[in-house]
Chain A
Amino acid sequence: MTARSFSRRHLLAGAGALSLAALPSGRARAAGALTVGFIYVGPKDDYGYNQAHAQAAKALKGMPGLEVIEEERVPETNAVEKTMESMINLDGATLLFPTSFGYYSPYLLTQAKKNPKIQFRHCGGLWTEKDPKNAGSYFGYIAQGQYLNGIVAAHASKSKKIGFVGAKPIPQVLNNINAFLLGAQSVEPSITCQVIFTGEWSLAVKEAEATNALIDGGADVITCHVDSPKVVVETASRRGAFVCGYHVDQSPLAPQKYLTGAEWNWLPIYEDFIAAMQAGKGPQNFVRGGLADGYVKMSPYGPGVSEVARKNADAVKAEMMKGGYAIIKGPLKDNTGKEILAAGTAYPEKAAELESTRYLVAGVKGSV
């Protein structure tokens, strides 16, 4: 036996004593207070999707009679069911916001059936009349923001090529790509948009490489749809390209090159849900809206936005604020030459067809 192992023994003995201190204890909670639980798929300060929700959650925290609990980096596996159950059983949450798209089926549906007294509202627009009445969906028409991004981008672009870094070719991303280009083409019909998919929602090096490849291909305004746009914004601005933001305001990352950005504004939705709960009613099952409803907003214009661009974008924004704006309207062809919509037809913002977009409009370089 050496002296070394002697001191180690002491450590071990001390550790044994500590484990006895772990005793369960109850938890008192103010009666009547409403507890809401937020569940995020990634870190809540990702400069992106999760942060947009977490910002709203933070803003709610001061409200009287309200307790906000949060859990981050919950995977889209049955772990999220346990998180929901734990928030319900151990924290007394009665309103849950599982914010990631993949939480809905089967996890949220299972828990909604199991806990009929608890309200579940899921971010993404998946709820239908067939689903439990204590579940529901909310979502924002952020493609409107990408359309405005496109207008500003077209004014700033000299090469008439703009670029989009997408995660996966799913309808939500495709709608954003289409809107970005259509916005740009409303200013300059010859403009094209190159898209590169990284294949993952968060993959820093690939996002940076994709941004570089877009700029090497001649694009001089970049935007993206990935969970955390920080890398895309910083890389693009370092390469001297202009950049439009997504999810939250990223202007502090590129003060000179940031034109504007499409941001979520979840706070009004959450406030409505909570107000309904506090009034003793069930919150709405299906809530969707765009700029007009205040669920989507634009970042303030950066220094690279010209006066003309500003006026143009503001005019379209005013149009959108009236509600029912249609970005996808005929005559419109996809980038393989197939007709999407005939002249005189349109998919206005509430159109269900937008949920199953499987095309990229003419002028987008890339494939679904």
Chain B
Amino acid sequence: MVAEAALSELSAAPARPSRGLQVRAWLARRSEAVAIPVAAAVTGFLLFGIFLAAQGKSPVQLAELVWRGGFGSAFALGNSLQRAAPLLFAALCVALPARLGLVVIGGEGAIVLGGLAAAAAAQPLAILPAPLAIPLMACAALLAGAVWIGAVGWLQAYRGVNATISSLLLSYIAIAIATHLIEGPLRDPTSLNKPSTLPVGEAFMLGPMPGLGVHWGLGCGVIACLVAYVLMDRTTLGFAARMAGGNVRAAQIQGLPVGRLIVGFTALGGAFAALAGFFEVAAVQGTANGTLAAGYGYTGILVAFLARQNPIAIVPVAFLLGGIEASSGLIQRRMQLPDATVLVLEGLLFLVVLASETLYGRFKLFSPHLWAAKRETAPTPTPSVTA
């Protein structure tokens, strides 16, 4: 689907439509891009409601609990935002390579290695003042993640090894290496029953964002999404990447360095994922330990696909999923439902949103040509998507 989008933009370019039509087309595309996923998400919730009703549980109560647990109060919002923060980074690790046509599912490995690198770097950096050392810790994380996922891109571009598979394998390998180091050479001997690296120290810990009570990973994550959006949609480099993702041969004929683009964008994705690990260490845990592999990398895949690989859309989608996960506890406690309830809901949402991919361009309501021409004639009975 990425490919076709890029191609259609390419083929549309030479036609040079009038400015008014361009604006209308933009509007139509945007409203379609919002209405269809929203409608699909609502459908997913509805299907889940049917599933719940079949179990003898009230879907209305569940909806209420999702609202209360994830969105309905300052506490609930904080809870959702905290959970969204690592997902922003993890999703970028999927979305950036996806624009080049690569499905990377091994972001978890980059998160773990990033966290470990940050914690390990904190020890030699202890001589520096915090404002200098903390960015350097982040750089160590960025580097680890970039190398790890960049390797996935390199293997794809220069060895023809499928990125989905190699990223998965590399993620298992990364977690094994990290656990080995955390419980072996890098272990803090005083971490008894919870093996961890030496603590990075209170001075190197990031506080919460003012007024939000959520750590700085959230703010940086939103900025990272904006940066990724600008890079992808507003720069030549991003255009070249999308072109390479659309049609490799055409891109090669144009003289684009497809291999280097793939390595560069996968490395960037890995660097972003590693930041999730960095914040886990520098803003939450204070050490690197086994809980770095908390599954953010996998939820990030879900976020990226639900956001249709659009870096801006990642922000609301991560927030939505953070909210659903935040309400999980309340659902367990109030409805006596198992924790897997949220998994079923997420799976259904994901399926329906993916299936809705097929609806793009099918509704005349969103067709720019309809808006441009024949405004005087009686409107054809256009199907309307209400959501």
A–B direct touch in complex (beta carbons closer than 8 A): yes
- Seen from chain A, the residues whose Cβ lies within 8 Å of a Cβ on chain B are 1, 5-6, 8-9, 11-16, 18-19, 21-25, 43, 69-79, 82-83, 85-87, 89-91, 101-102, 105-106, 124, 168-172, 199, 355-356
Flag if B291 contacts A25 (CB, 8 Å). no
With contacts A12-B386, A70-B332, A70-B333 taken as known, whether A102 is within 8 angstroms of B291 at the C-beta atoms is: yes
Q: Are A101 and B194 in contact (CB under 8 A)?
A: yes
In Å, the complex CA distance between A25 and B67 comes to 10
Pair B42/A19 contact, Cβ less than 8 Å: yes
Residue numbers in B under 8 Å from A355 (CB-CB): 192
Decide: A22 and B75 in contact? CB cutoff 8 A: no
Which parts of B59-98 form the interface with A (CB within 8 Å)? 59-60, 63-64, 66-69, 72, 75, 79, 82-83
For B263-307 the 0/1 string (1 means CB < 8 A from A) is: 000000000000000001000111001010011000000000000
Residue of B nearest to A74 (CB): B329
**A residues near B339, Cβ cutoff 8 Å:** 43, 71-73
The contact of A24 among B43, B45, B72, B333, by CB within 8 Å, is: B72
B387 interface neighbour in A16, A71, A79, Cβ under 8 Å: A16
With beta carbons under 8 angstroms apart, the residue of B63, B192, B295, B387 that contacts A75 is: B295
B194 with A102: CB separation less than 8 A: yes
When distances are taken between beta carbons in the complex, the residues of chain A under 8 Å from B359 are 5, 8
Q: Which A residue sits closest to B60, measured CB to CB?
A: A21
Please list 30 pairs of residues, one from A and one from B, whose beta carbons are closer than 8 Å in the complex, sorted by A's number: A1-B383, A5-B359, A5-B383, A8-B359, A15-B39, A15-B43, A16-B387, A18-B45, A18-B49, A18-B59, A21-B63, A22-B66, A22-B67, A69-B333, A71-B329, A72-B338, A74-B329, A77-B291, A77-B294, A82-B79, A82-B326, A85-B79, A86-B69, A90-B69, A90-B75, A102-B289, A106-B285, A170-B195, A171-B192, A356-B192
B333 touches A15 (CB 8 A): no
Given A90-B330, A106-B286, CB of A172 within 8 Å of CB of B68:
no
A86 touching B286, Cβ below 8 Å: no
In the complex where A5-B383, A25-B64 touch, is A199 in contact with B46 (Cβ < 8 A)? no
Contact A77 B280 (CB under 8 A): yes
Complex contacts, B233 vs chain A, CB 8 Å: none
Whether the Cβ atoms of A171 and B193 lie closer than 8 Å is yes
Which residues of the other chain, B, contact A124 by a CB distance below 8 angstroms?
Answer: 193
Q: Which residue of A lies closest to B42 (CB)?
A: A15
- B289 to chain A: closest residue by CB: A102
B385 an interface residue at 8 Å Cβ cutoff?
A: yes
Interface residue B362 (Cβ < 8 Å from any Cβ of A):
yes
Q: 11 additional contacts, CB 8 Å, given A71-B332, A77-B284?
A: A12-B386, A18-B59, A19-B42, A21-B60, A72-B332, A77-B280, A82-B83, A86-B69, A90-B68, A90-B75, A355-B192
Q: Which of A1, A14, A86, A169 contacts B329 (CB 8 A)?
A: A86
Contacts of B385 in A (CB 8 A): 9, 12
User: In which size bucket is the chain B interface?
Assistant: 35 or more
Q: Considering the chains assembled together, what is the distance between the CA atoms of A312 and B42 in angstroms? A: 66
- CB of A85 within 8 A of CB of B64, answer no
CB under 8 Å from chain A, chain B span 129-174? none
Shortest beta-carbon distance from A35 to chain B in Å = 10
Which one of A18, A77, A82, A86 contacts B46 once the chains associate, using CB atoms below 8 Å?
A18
Tell me the chain B residues, 344-387 only, with Cβ under 8 Å from chain A.
359, 362, 383-387
CA of A3 to CA of B348 in the docked complex: distance in angstroms? 23
Decide: B49 and A91 in contact? CB cutoff 8 A: no
CA distance A87 to B328 in the complex (A): 12
**A residues near B193, Cβ cutoff 8 Å:** 101, 124, 170-172
CA distance A1 to B66 in the complex (A): 35
Select from chain B the residue with minimum beta-carbon distance to A6.
B383
Rounded to whole angstroms, the CA-CA distance of A226 and B49 in the bound complex is 37
Whether A71 pairs with B46 at a CB distance below 8 angstroms is: no
B179 near A: Cβ within 8 Å?
yes
> Roughly how many angstroms separate A79 CA and B296 CA in the complex, as a whole number?
12
A78 vs B192: C-alpha distance in the bound complex, in angstroms?
Answer: 20
State the CA gap A348–B277 with chains docked (Å).
Answer: 42
A81 to chain B: closest residue by CB: B82
CB distance from A49 to the nearest CB of B (A): 13
Closest to B62 in A: A22
Given A74-B329, A77-B284, A106-B286, check contact A86 B291 (CB 8 Å).
Answer: no
A79 to B342, CA, bound (A): 15
Inter-chain CA distance A91–B334, complex, in Å, is 9
Closest to B39 in A: A12
**Complex formed: what's the CA distance from A132 to B332 in Å?**
29
Name the residue on A nearest B339 (C-beta): A73
Interchain CA distance A168-B294 in the complex, whole Å = 18
CA distance A14 to B333 in the complex (A): 29
Q: Which residues of A contact B383 (CB under 8 A)?
A: 1, 5-6, 9
Asked if residues A24 and B68 are in contact (CB atoms below 8 Å), the reply is: yes
Assuming A22-B60, A24-B67, is B284 touching A78 (CB within 8 A)?
yes
Taking each of B332, B359, B387, which has the highest tally of chain A beta carbons within 10 Å of its own beta carbon?
B332
- Docked complex Cα distance between A124 and B284 (Å): 21
CA distance A83 to B46 in the complex (A): 27
A23 touches B64 (CB 8 A): yes
**What residues of chain A lie closer than 8 Å to B386, measured between beta carbons?**
12-13, 16
Complex Cα spacing A90 to B74, Å: 12
Complex contact B330–A86 (CB within 8 A): yes
